Structure 1
Amino acid sequence: MTSRTTFDKLIERHGRVEIPVIQRDYAQGRADQHIVRDDFLKSLHDALCLPREDPTLPLDLDFVYGSIVNGSFQPLDGQQRLTTLFLLHWYLAWVDGSSEDLRTRIVTSGRSRFSYEVRPSSRDFINAFANYIPVISAGECEDIAGMITDQPWYFRSWRFDPTIRAALSMLDRMHEVFRKTSGLYARLIDETAPAITFQLLDLEHFDLSDDLYIKMNARGKPLTPFETFKARFERHLENQFKDAPPDLCNGTPLADFFSHRIDTRWSDFFWPFRDKKTATFDDAMMNLLRAVIMVTRDPEAAATSLDLADIRSMARASSYTWFHDRGWLDQEMVLALITLLERWSAGAETFCRYLPDTRHLDEQALFQDILTKPTSLTFQQLAQLAGYAQFLVHSPGEIDSNAFDAWMRVVSNLATNTDYNRPEDLRRSFAGLRDLTPWMNDILNHLASSDGDVRGFSREQVAEERIKAHLIGFGDGWPERLDRAERHTYFRGQIGFLLRCCGLKLGEVDAEIERLDAATANELVEPFEHYLACASQMFDDLVKHPKGSGRLWESALLAVGDFLPNVGRNRSLLNTSSDEAWGWKRLLRNAAAGGRSSQVLKDLWDQLEDPGSYAADLGGVLESASEIDPWREAILATPSVYDYGTYRMMRFSEDGGIYLLRKTQMNGRHAELFTYCLYDSLASDMKPDGFSTSYYEATSTDDEPGLCFTRDFKGAEITFYLTLYQAPNQYQFYLAEPMTEEGDLQEALAEFGFEEDEDGYWTMFGELKQLRPRVEELAEALKEKDQKV
């Protein structure tokens, strides 16, 4: 909202005017600004000396933009003019002997209502100056600046403050312009016919100090979020590493180093990643800040989990105040930020990499994700970034790419194969990584030692990494062998199930490491290679040919045993497209831990000869399978079961019923396994006898799904249902429509063995294998009766 007002009314209206820390120093009084200063003072002088009724009044000083922040009006534009008006009010009040009147207007509880927060010294000077009433008159004073600097409240150190120097210079010049005037203070505060006004544009709900979107200069150029942050961050850096700046600063004070680098080398580095529309990289830089803040939180601090949640929830880069007030701009964060920028910008190429390849981490891809979508970084990525930054920060000098590669292999394996459900899980991983800092350059030997345990990650994956580190230490092809296994695109470093198949117990890792000598390791080579070949082919087929050779693997595995993992109250037929609990990755993790899936996998793979005969071997497994659970037999005979639900979930109810779920719960659509399999086999078979089949899916536990049979009989439509009656194998076959049957239909039902129950339904009961032929016989009987005239 825009309104015309005066300096006095601005103070009265808002109570307090505060020049925020983000603003620059007062410059209008500087010597190099003498032309602007003198022209402005002349305009003020001429306006104040005009009669109240002069039609050219008031002198309008154009727009002053600002908003209320923490109860104070903070100017966005107009700082220089407002400061000059503040000084003019003080000076003219002194000239006219009205200093006490002015103090009642601009001082409250000894504190100036016009405040300068740009520097602490500026703020303290303004407070003291607003309360100061010279003991001599203006006419007796020859040197205002000298008079003020001679006061006991004036600190000698203030002479270095550019705002204070400029204010004293302006007062000296005002003394030259206004010293022979009188009565102008009254004109300055005149409410009815003001001589000097400005247009106040009150930008409501505008966080001036932190989100300074508009910087009013000659072109009205916006001040970007990073420019806002940078202005305050550089001052913050003056207190970081004050006694001993980091080695990478080469002895230069940290604030100076950052300021110079961000305007030169780092700017060149960020330029290829700029926003093409705005030609700035500010958003990218702020996003990097957020990512670095996340991975440098103290993992032992109770607040870290909340901090991680807060940072990840921010839709856009936030402000200096947001970061600073939460203590996020600490030494750990500053050191990591500067180190990463120095490392990445060190080479001639756009982005300097330090890993030999992208097997364990694609550095530039992660960097791109940081710049473009920091809030979408997964917990796994953040754990990887934490380990990555930790190595670069705590490895002075040249980076040993082989040691770095070994480190990132372990970090990525641990992070990728750990379940993260909340920030607290990530905090624990950060703690585990920090524990490993002393051994980063020799991580494998440390993991293989008796002190090699790691907290904060999946226990099974930690055990796996320790055993693999021990095997790698033997050489003899194990480094290459394990690397080949880990490189499989589906395993992604998680191969504990192979170690388990070879007889290694991950749950007893210290004992296994002690037992596993070079000779024992050599005995593992042949079984490991066999299980790796089986697993590689199996998961290649599952991923690439899910309904072809992949389905053959699924069927053979199910024929060997019940391998389905529990997912809450459900069991899952698994899929390869998800890392969730219903994915094959979870099965492999369970197998590594020694779950029942471990034995089923091993039993299947032990029946296979070599990759060239896998298809024939799997076919033989299916043909020779015996003593298979009825539900497994039903699925093996009905491949469409695999395509029933989004997540391939099954619910084994407490009373023995088995249901297929469209999603994950029984209050969604679901089918009863055996009637659904029967529906699949009868869908086309019944049509010649006049029955059309469909399946009724239930949507609650109070309703029972089942198979529907419908046909015309004597000109009317009749419908039968076949549903589970009493688990596990008692089914009912009943006439649903019409409820009242007469004549030939009633006669046929009675002859066929249906009995009318207490609810009026004609029903027969039995096991499904007994009812199936009866359904077919009924179809034929009704067909014959329908054809009789």
Structure 2
Amino acid sequence: MSNRYTFLDIYKNDLDLNKDTKVKISQIVIPKIQRPYAQGRQDGVCTYVRNTLLNEMFANFKTDEVFDFNFIYGIVRSSNETYVMELLDGQQRMTTLFLIYWYIANRELNEGEEADTEIRNALGRFVYETRSTSTVFCQRLASYHIDLSDTKPSKAIRKAKWYFKSFDRDSTISAMLVMLDAIHDRYNSQDSNELYKKLDNIQFYVKSLGYFNLSEELYIKMNARGLQLSPFENFKADLINFINNKEYAPYKELVPLYKKDSDDKVEFNFNFSVKLDAKWIDIFWKKGDENFDAAYMSFFSRFFACKYIVSTKDIVSDRDMRQDKTIRQLYTDAENRNEAIEYLGFQEFENLLSKHPEYIMILDKVFDVFYEYDHKDGKGFIYKSMLPSWEKKNSEEGDDFYNNLSSKMTHTKLILLGAVIEFIEAYDTFDIDVFKQWMRVVWNIVENTNIDSLTPVSSLIRKLSAVIHNTAIRSSEGLSFYAALSQWKDDSNDERENRALLEETEKAKRISENSDWLNMFKQAEQHPFFKGMVLFFYEPGLSLENFRHRYELAKDMFDENGISKLYRTDHLLIRAIVSQFNSWDELKERYITERAESNKYLKNILASHERVRNMFSELLNDADESAVESRLHEYIDEEKDFISWNGGNDGYCDMAVKRLREDIKLYDWIAAEERQNKSVFRIYWYEGHIMFAVPRKQYAKVALDTERAKTAYKIAESYGMDYYDNNQLQMYKKYGDSFGNEIWLKQDRQNCTLWIGFCQHHDLRIQIECKTKKYAKELLEVFEGSDYIDDDERWIKLPYQKHFKYQKTYRDLANVLENIFDNIPEL
């Protein structure tokens, strides 16, 4: 089991026919079912593999060290009166070795020499059966002698009399010629060209699977990957090579061989490689699915992405994870690479595994759990956990994104996969019931956290890892899952704890006190709006019966679309919620909506704002729906002192808050805009105003701290002025306000046009556009304090006024207009 072989002595030493019999082989056969040779292909992946392999090999030739060519696997079978080994794994490497031996023999040995004869004999025993042309080519090449000192191998071989044009149509032969040219270039770049003596340094292990009586079904699965060398095959070779060469004691420990009813023990590293192709592949292998190899590769990338995030918690901040190069290689870019069949090498994986070789042991455990509890017999326990209860039509529904590429990967799914991995790692054994309890908690947290970038992804994967490991430790002390989870708040030293996690620890505490809480929480969590968030109307110490009463009232206040239709009447509930914001600090940058949308702004208010939570706790103690509605009106009408941005009160905030509480038409307009544009309105300070707007949308914004719209409408009506943007007039007629940063009115007169602008910073601008400079000059003398605008001698401006409350603004503006009209001729 531990013997190393060279390309020559594999035919000299005994191999295992089965567990009891050893034989010598006469040939190594690449069977028909194998793919063509690919390391000589000229696509990016194969070029990378070819260059990497040759660079390492020729660097090794400069030393006397063994060059580890890893394992080759095969089945030894009888053939006439001899035995041959059919390769299952190692075809690509052995073909490259075949070409290396052929090339160096031609460069350094003479025909008829004993060493040359020995190599030619071994080359002739290497048989390709993938196509008849490959078979003939390898036979002819094995005995072909040619001087390659001044010509490339591909050119010389194509000129040989035995080379048929049909060979050009064989992708294996074309790839071999490319590889030979690459070997030629490396050879010519060497300082020393005496490499024949170094060939014996290239050594490998041979594993005859007949020794273990492994099923030939493995053979079919290993070769169902298509004709091109896949990223997974390259990755797998690099991974096995790392495990075999890493000085890490657990890799060398004897473990039971993966095989039913087998008592054999083998080294962990060998058993791992066998399970890769004989066991775990079943998780991903589906008949007729050509992408299972990519799905297999994706699982590795995602696993190591999750472990990288966990392992770097003290090195890479959650915020910096968005620009982290390693996570981009392992996850962000990897999702696209796997679909495009690209492989950029093993370096990032090796960097992580060099620091954490134990991750291979965890990976082994994770794969075994997925196989036993998800794949085997169609149990699907993990599959069914990958959908939350509120999305399921029946208990058997799930999502198998982790073992195929047909289900699009998302940040949320990576967090879920990370939570599964950390659970499997944390517990010694996989308990199905505890796993279900854990995934319920995970879904509640994930659903109620805004996951809009890699920052929350990193934060949650790390947080969930810490939580489940702490819970597992507490469980080992004899606590139930929920009792153990409830200890997190006491055990954690994080001052800024995830809000949804705190809710789950409080639920766990109540469940551990009285198991009846579990069914109550589950019922509430499945509400199509709540989706796991059910403590916004709860207070510590609340009885189960009181919680049930509050839930019965709360569930009718919301539906899958957000606030229910009943409580959107006159926008009663959202106005009551807004009435709980008593300072500018609470109101600024706040998104206000009645809808359930992807950013969960409404849910965030319910979950995080203390007075809003207190409001729900109070009003849901009322007896029925009618009493709740009455109480909501009371909250809206209740006078509260509002603290503005400077601690004082200049009236602007009061006006804005009053509108937010009482202006039903304002919410009518917002609802219409949201229906049309699927956007959410935000309150913010901009250019001297409290704006209520969809960010960066010119036509979806109003100023809350001025009655400019009413003033503009009344002035236009009283003095026969026109709106510059007639859409602002139409909006006012329907909703009592006008959109935009500014509102402009105009009136054409005999020698000029009068403009009135309700502008930013509450500036009220009065401007006159004259037809001639002469007329403008005359008006300058008429209107005291007037001046040209930006040195344009046809435009004059009158002293600025301010717009704020309607009555004063209208009165002051009307006085100015009366004076203007007294001095400017009629239309």
1:198 corresponds to 2:217: no
- Which of 652, 656, 663 is 2:685 aligned to? 652
1:344 corresponds to 2:374: yes
- Which of 805, 809, 820 is 1:771 aligned to? 809
- Secondary structure at 2:747's aligned position in 1? strand
Q: Counterparts of 1:275-290 in structure 2 under 5 Å?
A: 275=289, 279-290=290-301
- Which of 718, 729, 732 is 2:754 aligned to? 718
Deviation at 1:639, TM superposition (A): 2.9
Deviation at 1:577, TM superposition (A): 4.5
The Cα offsets for residues 286-314 of structure 1, whole Å up to 9 and x where unpaired, read as: 11222222334483445676544431222
User: CA 1:74/1:360 → structure 2, altered by over 3 Å: closer, same or farther?
Assistant: same
Q: Counterparts of 1:727-766 in structure 2 under 5 Å?
A: 732=764, 734-738=766-770, 756-757=785-786, 760-763=796-799, 765=801
Deviation at 1:631, TM superposition (A): 1.0
Is contact 2:701–2:741 with CA below 8 Å preserved after alignment? Answer: yes
Q: Counterparts of 1:153-552 in structure 2 under 5 Å?
A: 166=122, 188-189=147-148, 191=150, 197-198=156-157, 200-201=177-178, 221-234=227-240, 241-245=251-255, 253=266, 266=280, 269-272=283-286, 275=289, 279-297=290-308, 299-301=310-312, 302=314, 307-314=326-333, 315-317=336-338, 318=343, 321-322=346-347, 324-328=349-353, 330-348=360-378, 353=383, 358-359=388-389, 365-368=398-401, 371-372=404-405, 376-378=409-411, 380-392=412-424, 399-401=431-433, 403-418=434-449, 422=455, 424-426=458-460, 428-429=462-463, 430-439=465-474, 442-449=480-487, 452-454=490-492, 458-475=497-514, 477-499=516-538, 502=539, 504=540, 520-522=541-543, 525-526=545-546, 528-529=547-548, 531-533=550-552, 535-540=554-559, 542-543=562-563, 545=565, 548-549=568-569, 551-552=571-572
Separation (CA, whole Å) in 2 of partners of 1:583 and 1:405: 29
Q: Any stretches of 5+ residues in structure 1 without a counterpart?
A: 1-20, 37-62, 77-82, 84-104, 146-162, 171-183, 209-216, 505-519, 698-703
Which residue number corresponds to residue 633 of structure 1? 658
Which residue number corresponds to residue 625 of structure 2? 611
Amino acid at match of 2:625: P
User: CA 1:125/1:237 → structure 2, altered by over 3 Å: closer, same or farther?
Assistant: same
Is contact 2:537–2:616 with CA below 8 Å preserved after alignment? Answer: no
Deviation at 1:492, TM superposition (A): 3.0
Which residue number corresponds to residue 590 of structure 1? 608
Amino acid at match of 2:405: T
The Cα offsets for residues 578-601 of structure 1, whole Å up to 9 and x where unpaired, read as: 464x8123223322xx4x544555
Deviation at 1:660, TM superposition (A): 3.6
User: CA 1:610/1:204 → structure 2, altered by over 3 Å: closer, same or farther?
Assistant: farther
Separation (CA, whole Å) in 1 of partners of 2:151 and 2:775: 106
User: CA 1:723/1:226 → structure 2, altered by over 3 Å: closer, same or farther?
Assistant: closer
Moved more, 257-266 or 531-540: 257-266
Deviation at 1:357, TM superposition (A): 8.3
Is contact 2:537–2:550 with CA below 8 Å preserved after alignment? Answer: yes
- Secondary structure at 1:572's aligned position in 2? strand
Is contact 1:390–1:437 with CA below 8 Å preserved after alignment? Answer: no
Deviation at 1:117, TM superposition (A): 4.3
Higher-Rg structure is 1
The Cα offsets for residues 471-504 of structure 1, whole Å up to 9 and x where unpaired, read as: 22332843333333333333333344323xx3x3
Separation (CA, whole Å) in 1 of partners of 2:498 and 2:549: 26
User: CA 1:445/1:274 → structure 2, altered by over 3 Å: closer, same or farther?
Assistant: farther
The Cα offsets for residues 681-734 of structure 1, whole Å up to 9 and x where unpaired, read as: 86599458522335699xxxxxx94321223334854321133656xxxx5352
Amino acid at match of 2:375: S
User: CA 1:356/1:385 → structure 2, altered by over 3 Å: closer, same or farther?
Assistant: closer
Separation (CA, whole Å) in 2 of partners of 1:756 and 1:204: 89
Deviation at 1:325, TM superposition (A): 2.1
User: CA 1:489/1:465 → structure 2, altered by over 3 Å: closer, same or farther?
Assistant: same
- Secondary structure at 1:311's aligned position in 2? helix
Amino acid at match of 1:663: P
Amino acid at match of 2:685: F
Amino acid at match of 2:423: F
Separation (CA, whole Å) in 2 of partners of 1:303 and 1:165: 56
Which residue number corresponds to residue 511 of structure 1? none
Separation (CA, whole Å) in 1 of partners of 2:52 and 2:487: 63
Separation (CA, whole Å) in 2 of partners of 1:688 and 1:371: 70
Is contact 1:691–1:779 with CA below 8 Å preserved after alignment? Answer: no
The Cα offsets for residues 499-548 of structure 1, whole Å up to 9 and x where unpaired, read as: 3xx3x3xxxxxxxxxxxxxxx543x742x345444543333374555994
Is contact 1:346–1:352 with CA below 8 Å preserved after alignment? Answer: no
Output the TM-score relative to the length of structure 2: 0.58
Is contact 2:550–2:620 with CA below 8 Å preserved after alignment? Answer: yes
Is contact 1:711–1:718 with CA below 8 Å preserved after alignment? Answer: yes
Deviation at 1:204, TM superposition (A): 11
User: CA 1:718/1:417 → structure 2, altered by over 3 Å: closer, same or farther?
Assistant: same
Which residue number corresponds to residue 212 of structure 1? none
